[in-house]
Amino acid sequence: MLYHLLWPLREAFSPLNLFRYITFRAAAAAAVSIVLTLVLGPVLIRSVRRLQIGQNVREEVPERHRAKAGTPTMGGILILAASLVGILLFGDLTNRLVQLGILVLLWLGARGFLDDYVKVRR
């Protein structure tokens, strides 16, 4: 999105010419994703604990694994959302490979969510 908004302004403000480089946009998207994950991670963990959405441990597991009971789950939602924000901000959304990457990210995120949901509910 920012790519399409800021690229035409490059002649008025030459540093915007950086948006033409995919390496700059990839690094910027990664930086935004990491910052979002670090800022929103503790908030998500607190809310997941408050909602008591945690890992269930079966009876037949070794004693050392019992400490994992109640470990917050569904953290992939944060990683998925932060990645999407970075991609949507800095990606060339007209590129078919970017569109395919977003589709695959959403598909695998939905599968991960379903897996975690089934583990929590059953």
Length of the chain: 122
Per-residue pLDDT reduced to its tens digit, 105-119: 999 999 998 988 887
Alpha carbons 87 and 101: distance in angstroms, whole number: 9
Domain of residue 77, residue span: 2-121
Count of structural domains within the chain:
1
The per-residue pLDDT for 14 is 79
- What is the share, in percent, of the chain residues with pLDDT greater than 70? 84
For the chain, how far is it from start to end, CA to CA, in angstroms? Answer: 41
Per-residue pLDDT reduced to its tens digit, 2-26: 777 776 777 787 787 788 889 999 9
- pLDDT band at 67; cut points 50, 70, 90: low
- Counts for the chain of helices (H) and strands (E), in that order: 4, 0
Alpha carbons 27 and 47: distance in angstroms, whole number: 30
Per-residue pLDDT reduced to its tens digit, 71-102: 667 788 899 999 999 999 999 899 999 999 99
